[in-house]
Chains A and B, each alone.
Chain A
């Protein structure tokens, strides 16, 4: 099947394109990109609505899909539906399922579910240690062969410096990325929110930003020792960013991601004790938010990743200190990024595409990140000026735990194409009614 995405503004930084182009998709592959392409016989024409922007498919390199084991929170199928509705053509899912994804069997199970859903691509991330317990190195070779693109003990930091060294050495040998959830558990203690004046006032136990910074310093030092690339999950403080910049400056292959809630909300949001403001790392003060935004703009932050962490409403209905950490993110990320970063003047569209597509593809070494001829047609169509009202009830994730209910934002997703298949179309965007129907809309 052949079709042409006609007359869209294409923003494709990897190929140096920003302008009006046509894209010919044939049998799931980008056949040609050019201006005023001739229409091949039998090809369908999908006119890109005015104002929309065509980008390489967005990739979220940090999500929790909860399957196997916690299907009441999310399944692979519901997670990828949420992903494509959020503009993501691919997600990388963390191993803290039940059982933990520390074996080829679990990896294959997740991939089978993803294949059956046929929406977004799913790249499993394997556990770095058996059971993510921080004792025994996981069989990273087997995990890689089964389809894992990275390893992490996310939810927990890799427990000891010696084990982290071994993980870096061993995964580095196999060319598998190492991602760490950086947080000193002993300094975190029983903290539930950022340690600061707001926590003190609300009587909530604090986690100092330094718990994250100490661990990042450890890991960067070890990445230097082993000369293996290392990626910081959900970085949240100015001090952490300072450590990453310093690491990069001394030639260490360290990259990092920031979650939208950390550049949108501060710990002031804790007032009222809404458990949907409880996540780990916790919401930080304005000075940290400002530093993260500066890092997103100047390139020291490599990636925006959502840390999509679905939890059932009953779990979030517990008291603040008892409720689980985490919020959903797949279906709010694009709107928050547009509204708070692009329209606020901090970054331009090119940078947005780098943060959400080019860099995650490069860091994970997966397909995508560019609209190159011959590449699989993973394409996102964005609607930068679409007025969006965030409503959990209209989202596709099985869980509704997010603190953005009712927020009115400018910018959203128009359509998502994976392997040439239109998997999501947003009927709120004028002109998309003329496109073929999609499995998610």
Chain B
């Protein structure tokens, strides 16, 4: 019996979400990121892989971190990059999402890296665009490169994803990071427990592959990886929980609670952190935290994605 040939590229034209990726494609991206990380360790951090390609970073929602990470990744691959921050006010004026993107497409970019506040925006664009689209976060739906960099970070510490016990705690309801992570971790054979105040737990989260826990302690018990999600301060106004103080009391990650996880567990956070709300500084700055490593890995993983999508010959 012959083994199937190893995958050498991504099957889709776009990266709209982890939902589009098969496990072998995820592994390919992570393996490619290994090589890309090495580029970042050289004195001259540049390879010609995307020379002559134009990539537009189209951000309908402000984001410094993700945009910067993509931009560095693009520059290290020698792509020509352009950042466009589109205020949603032009959309309010009556210009449709498609109008905005058609205007940019008229200038024939090769790839669009798109961040939008509405779930599904990248999927809607992909139906009409010639360029390849990389989803840099759509509403509450997906943030695939974040999940890939999280997986890369887990794999580099634990050597594997399969069989890992991952705890995710925080604002589950409004988190695209959660959704992409759940999809990825399930595909790769990890198990996930989640905890949050009940109003912040999406209906039907079991169907997404997570086991909901009533307490943070239950979620942390025996975990290999602890991932904290950002609590947005305005959630309090909608009565998702009564106060930041009580949130920290019930769901904050403290050094004491970390004692419930495996001794070699790592602590992750997609940033930006609210110290003293979802995570205590002693943990955020402690030896188990890999939060800054995530940021560094983000560049390597995004280089891998851009290279795999855009490095080949266009048909």
Contact = CB atoms under 8 A, between A and B. Distances in A.
Contacts of B203: 195-197, 199-200, 206, 208
B119 A203 contact: yes
B120 A319 contact: yes
A195 B207 CA distance: 13
Contact of B118 (A199, A206, A272, A322): A322
A203 B208 contact: no
A321 interface: yes
A202 B119 contact: yes
Given A200-B202, A200-B203, A202-B141, A321 B118 contact: yes
B143 to A, nearest CB: 10
A200 B208 contact: yes
B49 interface: no
Chain A interface main SS type:
loop
Contacts of A203: 119-120, 138-142, 176, 179
Contacts of B94: 314
Contacts of B176: 203
A204 interface: yes
Given A203-B138, A203-B142, A319-B124, A314 B96 contact: yes
Nearest to A321: B118
Given A200-B204, A202-B119, A273-B123, A319 B140 contact: no
Nearest to A197: B204
Interface string B190-216: 000000000000111101100000000
B87 to A, nearest CB: 15
Interface string B110-122: 0000001111110
A196 B204 contact: yes
A196 B120 CA distance: 17
A202 B202 CA distance: 11
The residue in B94, B121, B176, B208 that gathers the most chain A C-beta atoms within 10 A of its C-beta is B121
B86 interface: no
A21 to B, nearest CB: 51
Given A202-B119, A318-B91, A320-B118, A197 B96 contact: no
A41 interface: no
A320 B119 CA distance: 7
A365 to B, nearest CB: 42
Interface in A166-223: 195-206, 208
A321 B139 contact: yes
A317 interface: yes
Given A317-B97, A322-B91, A204 B120 contact: yes
Contacts of A322: 91, 118
B120 A273 contact: yes
Contacts of A195: 203
Contacts of B207: 197, 200-201
Contacts of A272: 123
Nearest to A320: B120
A317 B101 CA distance: 12
Contact of A321 (B119, B202, B204, B208): B119
A199 B139 CA distance: 12
B98 interface: yes
Contacts of A200: 202-205, 207-208
Nearest to A204: B119
B176 to A, nearest CB: 6
Contacts of B124: 273, 275, 319-320
Nearest to B172: A200
A96 B96 CA distance: 25
Contacts of B205: 200
A319 B121 contact: yes
Given A273-B124, A321-B118, A205 B204 contact: no
A195 B94 CA distance: 29
Contacts of B91: 318, 322
Nearest to B140: A203
B98 to A, nearest CB: 5
A168 to B, nearest CB: 33
A329 B120 CA distance: 25
Given A200-B204, A319-B97, A205 B116 contact: no
8 contacts: A196-B203, A202-B141, A203-B142, A204-B119, A204-B140, A319-B116, A320-B124, A321-B119
Interface of A: 195-206, 208, 272-273, 275, 314, 317-322
Interface of B: 91, 94, 96-98, 116-121, 123-124, 138-142, 176, 179, 202-205, 207-208
Given A319-B118, A320-B121, 20 more contacts: A196-B204, A197-B207, A198-B204, A199-B203, A200-B203, A201-B207, A201-B208, A202-B120, A203-B119, A203-B138, A203-B142, A203-B176, A204-B120, A204-B141, A272-B123, A275-B124, A317-B98, A318-B97, A319-B97, A320-B124
Give 10 closest A-B pairs by Cβ, nearest first: A273-B120, A197-B204, A203-B141, A319-B118, A203-B140, A200-B202, A203-B119, A197-B207, A317-B96, A320-B120
